[in-house]
């Protein structure tokens, strides 16, 4: 016997950037929407993982390519904390881009405000367990929280867990990838405090320290292995090994400062979510691959720019096909964020914060259309998604950029 049973139009699983964008998008489209998050703060890796850089909305040549909720969230990330959008990002000669660094805690406060204003029903501290199914259609999710274990039913479900957990458990074909240990934390240091006072800017106190590998494993002490974010034991070991790297860093740095080391430099905020870049992604009706740069798709529903480098090539923008958000085999389900169907260089760009917000917004629009038309996402018309995107002034075609080149 279940302790509770609730019904919604749209259920968004996971309250990272993608999940928040999906919930805002669906609720604003008139759907009764629930957002379920196991942590007690929204934002996922962007906040709980201390990933404090909102990567660019522009192509590095002065053209904005991502619009809509992705832009709204960028502004929200600095609403209650430090950070400025570079004034010269629109200058194609400049290396600046439409991008900011933010305080994760300030971003959490702004995300709360957005979802509350949009009347999203937010369930924090609630873990998603198993999906409920009617043959090959997902009908709801079993969840657990302080009230016990219950079922949330919905006409359409968006998997924004970052790890494709919902999709995987329904039987959607997925792919996994392992990661080198890495940790992003914040430190307090006398040096940063001096800079803050000197520049009269407390934002300088936001002092990131990262240890472990880059996405390609650079900067890693030898002998460390890769870990799977989809294996419970591996997740624990990944976190413990990463935190040991951080401990070793503070021991080294504090020792160099002598007796006052512990007073002058110390950790102040650790991630409360494992800093896995990638874990599992779905096989969608379409997969965006490395060779799809600057390619037109007949089902494109958004544009994403390459974040690496200031631009350089004018062919550094992707169209995002709707099929990358629609899983194979299972009905009633959409995917948003870092677990959509993309590989290689395409995945490198689809996994970051602005792209996660974009795919979240699209998933919210598509879910609302599926519910309104009493159908499943793969049967909705892309032209109807685009109509709503036009209404929201979001670009989805490279053709929209050509005039500016
Ligand atoms: C070390 C590192 C550095 C990075 N640097 C940058 C950067 O500088 N700039 C940038 O733009 N991007 C960066 N990224 C990538 C970016 O932060 C993430 O890929 C992006 O934020 C993903 O958003 P998401 O919403 O798809 O997933 P996530 O942020 O992973 O959100 C998923 C949410 O689902 C919740 N969830 C998962 N399972 C369950 C469950 N069973 N029940 C309930 N809730 C659940 C999680 O708690 C989480 O809140 C970095 C990532 C890492 C790891």
Domains and CATH numbers, the chain: 4-176+279-402 (3.50.50.60), 178-269 (no CATH)
49 in contact with ligand 1, CB cutoff 6 A: yes
Q: Residue-wise pLDDT tens for the chain (405 aa)?
A: 679 999 999 999 999 999 999 999 999 999 999 999 999 999 999 999 999 999 999 998 899 999 999 999 999 999 999 999 999 999 988 889 999 999 999 999 999 999 999 999 999 999 999 999 999 999 999 999 999 999 999 999 999 999 999 999 999 999 999 999 999 999 999 999 999 999 999 999 999 999 998 777 777 888 899 999 999 999 999 999 999 999 999 999 999 999 999 999 999 999 999 999 999 999 999 999 999 999 999 999 999 999 986 554 556 899 999 999 999 999 999 999 999 999 999 999 999 999 999 999 999 999 999 999 999 999 999 999 999 999 999 999 999 885 444
104 in contact with ligand 1, CB cutoff 6 A: no
Ligand 1 centre distance from Cα of residue 281 (Å): 13
Q: What is the 3-state secondary structure (H, E, C) of 280-319?
A: EEECECCCECHHHCCCCCCCEEEEEECCCCCCCCCCCEEE
45 in contact with ligand 1, CB cutoff 6 A: yes
70 in contact with ligand 1, CB cutoff 6 A: no
CA distance 229 to 156: 26
pLDDT at 221: 81
* CA 253, chain centre distance (Å): 32
Nearest CA to ligand 1 atom 5: 51
Minimum-distance ligand 1 atom for the alpha carbon of 52: 8
Ligand 1 centre distance from Cα of residue 394 (Å): 23
38 in contact with ligand 1, CB cutoff 6 A: yes
Ligand 1 centre distance from Cα of residue 403 (Å): 34
271 in contact with ligand 1, CB cutoff 6 A: no
pLDDT at 375: 97
Nearest CA to ligand 1 atom 22: 338
Nearest CA to ligand 1 atom 51: 277
162 in contact with ligand 1, CB cutoff 6 A: yes
CA distance 158 to 324: 13
pLDDT at 93: 87
Minimum-distance ligand 1 atom for the alpha carbon of 337: 26
Ligand 1 pocket mutation pick from 16, 83, 107, 179 by most atoms within 8 angstroms of CB: 16
pLDDT at 405: 43
The answer to whether residues 357 and 401 touch, using CB atoms and an 8 Å cutoff, is no
97 in contact with ligand 1, CB cutoff 6 A: no
353 in contact with ligand 1, CB cutoff 6 A: yes
pLDDT at 404: 45
Minimum-distance ligand 1 atom for the alpha carbon of 351: 19
pLDDT at 349: 94
């Amino acid at each position: 016997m279940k302790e509770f049973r609730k019904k919604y139009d749209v259920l968004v699983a996971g309250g990272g950037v993608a999940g928040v964008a999906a919930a805002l998008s669906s609720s604003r489209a008139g759907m009764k929407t629930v957002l379920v998050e196991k942590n007690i703060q929204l934002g996922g890796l962007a906040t709980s993982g201390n990933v404090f850089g909102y990567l660019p909305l522009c192509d590095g040549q002065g053209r904005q390519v991502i619009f809509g909720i992705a832009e709204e969230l960028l502004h929200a990330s600095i609403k209650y904390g430090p950070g400025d959008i570079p004034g010269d990002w629109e200058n194609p000669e400049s290396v600046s881009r439409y991008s900011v660094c933010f305080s994760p805690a300030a971003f959490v406060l702004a995300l709360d405000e957005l979802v509350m204003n949009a009347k999203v029903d937010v369930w924090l501290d609630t873990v998603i367990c198993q999906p409920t199914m009617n043959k090959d259609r997902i009908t709801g999710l079993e969840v657990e929280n302080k009230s016990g274990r219950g079922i949330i039913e919905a006409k359409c479900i968006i998997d924004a867990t970052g790890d494709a957990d919902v999709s995987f458990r329904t039987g959607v074909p997925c792919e996994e990838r392992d990661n080198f240990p890495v940790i992003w934390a914040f430190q307090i240091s006398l040096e940063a405090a001096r800079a803050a006072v000197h520049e009269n800017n407390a934002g300088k106190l936001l002092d990131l320290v990262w240890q472990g590998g880059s996405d390609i494993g650079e900067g890693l002490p030898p002998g460390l292995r890769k870990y799977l974010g989809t294996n419970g034991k591996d997740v624990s070991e990944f976190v413990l090994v990463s935190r040991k790297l951080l401990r070793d860093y503070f021991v080294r740095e504090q020792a160099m400062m002598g007796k006052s080391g512990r007073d002058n430099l110390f950790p102040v905020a650790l991630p409360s979510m494992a800093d896995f870049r990638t874990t599992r992604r779905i096989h969608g009706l379409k997969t965006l691959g490395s060779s799809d740069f600057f390619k037109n798709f007949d089902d494109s529903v958004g544009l994403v720019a390459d974040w690496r480098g200031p631009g350089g090539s004018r062919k550094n923008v992707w169209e995002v096909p709707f099929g990358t958000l629609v899983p194979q085999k299972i009905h009633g389900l959409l995917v948003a964020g870092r677990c959509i169907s993309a590989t290689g260089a395409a995945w490198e760009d689809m996994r970051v914060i602005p792209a996660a917000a974009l795919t979240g917004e699209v998933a919210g629009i598509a879910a609302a259309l599926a519910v309104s038309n009493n159908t499943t996402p793969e049967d909705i018309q892309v032209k109807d998604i685009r109509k709503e995107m036009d209404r929201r002034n979001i670009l989805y075609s490279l053709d929209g950029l050509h005039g500016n080149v």
